[in-house]
Amino acid sequence: MTAPRYRNLVYDSSRWEGFTLRSDDIIITTPPKCGTTWTQMLCALLIFDTAEFDRPLAHISPWLDMQTRSLASVTADLEAQTHRRFIKTHTPLDGLPWDSRVTYISVGRDPRDVSLSWNHHWDNMDIDAFIALRADAVGLADLAELGPPPEPAPADPVERFWSWATSDTPAAGPTLGTILAQFQKSWDRRDEPNVALFHYSDLSADLFGQMRRLAGVLEIEVTDHRLETLAEAASFDRMKARANDLAPNSDQGFWRSTEDFFHQGSSGRWRELLTDEDETRYQQIARGLVTAELDDWAHHGWLGN
């Protein structure tokens, strides 16, 4: 069965077609702003057993479907790697090549937190610089087919939230519908032996424990003493201090502030934005999109249930 194609201004899942997977590959599949870079860092720490890397994280763990580099250059980087590869994608699980030998790591996050984090993320992007990189890498001929660029987000943060929560036309970033739909793709295969679901809130509450769990999923042996040291390197403050090495595509120049990619890393800021009435409305929308079990995990993780 042909995998569905997911694409927008930023990425195109068709770039996975023909890519040769290795038996020990790791694919990190998450919606944007759900802890992708954090998970890449955890994998890097466990695989290399060090917090010091010889090149930026985005080159160690490239985003294959991102359209600011040619597919040939990204593929060449991956084919040249001799270590265990861990590849980033925002493509849902059903849009990726399936291989029972490959480990698929999916990460969830409260969609309300994703919304606020995405707003900052988008505002921190130099769109003109991004478009120039895309033009050099893959061209712009497909933009007419993809539709018009996203309209400016409403200035009022509450209006902006509802625009995100009710949108059914994602142009470049996640909406409530696309986030929950992507969670669903991974949730439906959570019992597969090579699929593991993690959650941002669990990583925040117990980074050591979740890193221990990840080591088990990846079948990497590490002592608790060593794991404590490695986990410290994955703290928000430590990663923010290394933004030039760890922020995605930090060498491509489309962040207004590379350091500010690691903005706050907190959860629950939506409580300052939404009234009780807003929250009731939001819950009605979210619960109409997925099952109660998945809705609970999406908003609370494993440890919060």
Task: Give pLDDT tens digits for 260-305.
Answer: 776 666 688 899 999 999 999 999 999 999 999 999 999 999 987 5
Whole-angstrom CA distances from 40 to 30, 162, 292 are 11, 31, 29
* Residue 1, in any domain of the structure: no
* Model pLDDT, residue 149: 65
The residue range of the domain holding 91 is 13-300
* Residue 3, in any domain of the structure: no
Could you read off the pLDDT of 158-204 as tens digits, one per residue?
A: 999 998 999 876 555 789 999 999 999 999 999 999 999 999 999 99
Q: Which residues pair with 81 in a beta bridge?
A: none
Q: Which residue, among 269, 248, 296, has the nearest Cα to 39 in the 3D structure?
A: 248
pLDDT beyond 70 at 251: yes
Q: Which residue, among 273, 297, 275, has the nearest Cα to 286 in the 3D structure?
A: 297
- Average pLDDT over the chain, rounded to an integer: 91
* Residue 59, in any domain of the structure: yes
More confident residue, 145 or 139: 139
Category of 118 on φ-ψ map: left (φ > 0), alpha (ψ -120 to 50) or beta: alpha
* Model pLDDT, residue 252: 80
Dist CA 158 CA 173 (whole Å): 18
Q: Among this protein's residues, is 59 annotated catalytic?
A: no
pLDDT beyond 90 at 40: yes
More confident residue, 75 or 152: 75
* Residue 262, in any domain of the structure: yes
Which listed residue (59, 83, 90, 225) is catalytic?
90
* Model pLDDT, residue 305: 57
More confident residue, 122 or 179: 179
Q: Which residues pair with 69 in a beta bridge?
A: none
pLDDT beyond 70 at 150: no
Which H, E and C letters describe 59-114, residue by residue? HHCCECCECCCCHHHHHHHHHHCCCCCEEEECCCHHHCCCCCCCEEEEEECCHHHH
* Model pLDDT, residue 119: 79
* Residue 124, in any domain of the structure: yes
pLDDT beyond 70 at 24: yes
Query: How many structural domains comprise the chain?
Result: 1
* Residue 233, in any domain of the structure: yes
* Residue 202, in any domain of the structure: yes
More confident residue, 249 or 152: 249
Dist CA 201 CA 244 (whole Å): 25
Instruction: Look up the CATH number of the domain holding residue 46.
Output: 3.40.50.300
* Model pLDDT, residue 153: 75
pLDDT beyond 70 at 148: no
Out of 53-67, 149-163, 277-291, pick the least confident.
149-163
* Residue 246, in any domain of the structure: yes
